[in-house]
Amino acid sequence: MTIVTRFAPSPTGRLHVGNIRTALHNWLLAKQAGGRFLLRIDDTDAERSREEYVEAIREDLAWLGIHPDGEERQSARSASYEAAFDRLAMQGVVYPCYETPHELDLKRKILLGRGLPPIYDRAALDLSAEQRTEKESVGETPHWRFKLDHARPIEWLDGIRGEQHFDPAQLSDPVIRRGDGSWLYMLPSAIDDIAMGITDVLRGEDHVSNTAVQIQMFEALGASPPRFAHEALLVGAEGKLSKRLGSLGADALRDAGIEPQTIVALLARLGTSDPVDAALDAAALAESFDLSRFGRAPAKFDEAELHRLNAVVVHALSFEEVAGRLPGGMDAAGWDAVRPNLSHVGEAGEWWQVVTGPIEAPAFDDETRGFLESAAQTLADLDWILEDDDPLPTGYSITDTWPA
């Protein structure tokens, strides 16, 4: 069976570190097995989705060297969702609900106040056809829920977390469609995964309960669920979830001078015990990609480590790879001369100024200026010519450049 994975971002913002990691790992998983990696734009939320973000997602993936083997857009698949919804409604697997958001919030608060889980009580199932008609006649439009089968436990073997077990009676029937007819995430995603032939879904552990619900959706749609694996979420260097990670977008990383190879090298191994190796290319990273190497502990993303790794990558870049980003007049010899001093390619201009001049002296305070004048006078008074029979200064040997 050909492995088919997907990355399904919503175009409501730029890609950030967390979903870059998800895209990369799905791409590596497919590449490792000689399979296919697909991009699906989840743009059913027409109010928040922006075409500029669709283009940005494509550009960011291309910059990282992640090239999908195909692309789908949910906004073009409404007919498929309607057809599947009608079948499920006829089966009685989806049902209309008329509670307002305020009423639902009140129900949740009452349950929580009693120390009970805030599970939807399925009150809408007790409404008769006449009662539903009456509600709609006065302008009450229903939202729709998927009816979970409480008779069967939900189980799957997770590619990272191992055996998973859920009691569907401890889950709320999920809302799949809003009162205005728009779709929520879970049902269209399952419909698309079937249509796209997705065999493996690799995503964050915050989706584990969604997976439990979607497994029953796949079965209701007459399809076998794909294999699921859920990665530990990223945390900041301080050891807890950080909002900062959400602001580290591909555009911000690019502006900070981080090379795409650096991001790929770090994120490919983040969450495993394998060492990060900046010398490995995509093929080598894919060959060694193994879900069994991922742990359950949160994966720590350290910005300082990212910048250290970037220096390693920059030091290995050839002149041909960076020529278009170097200051005018810098040739291959110039690049080779300044490259060991760089952490980011953008610093080459400052070093090239040191080489070519002129160098503008910075402003010094009186104390620093006095020290420099004294040092300059001391140097001027030194005898820089060392004859063959002159004794060496204390602390030097004949082969030394610096004091021993």
Q: Which two tokens stand for residue 378?
A: 């001391």
Nearby residues of 370 by Cβ (< 8 Å), 6 or more positions away? none
| DSSP-derived pairing of the beta strands 154-158 and 162-166 | antiparallel
Mean pLDDT, each 10-residue run in order, the chain (404 residues): 95 92 97 97 91 96 96 96 97 96 96 95 96 94 97 97 97 96 95 98 96 98 98 81 74 94 95 90 91 91 93 96 95 95 95 85 88 90 69 56 46
Q: Compute CA distances 178 → 174, 182, 207, whole Å.
A: 11, 5, 21
* Closest listed residue to residue 332, CA positions, set 340, 323, 341, 324: 323
* Closest listed residue to residue 36, CA positions, set 67, 59, 60, 61: 67
Q: What is the pLDDT of residue 380?
A: 85
**In 270-285, which positions are buried (b, 16+ CB within 10 angstroms) versus exposed (e)?**
bbbeeebebebebeeb
Q: Are 34 and 283 contacting, i.e. CB atoms less than 8 angstroms apart? A: no
Distance (Å, whole) CA 257 – CA 347: 9
H or E, element range at 187: helix 186-195
Q: What is the pLDDT of residue 237?
A: 73
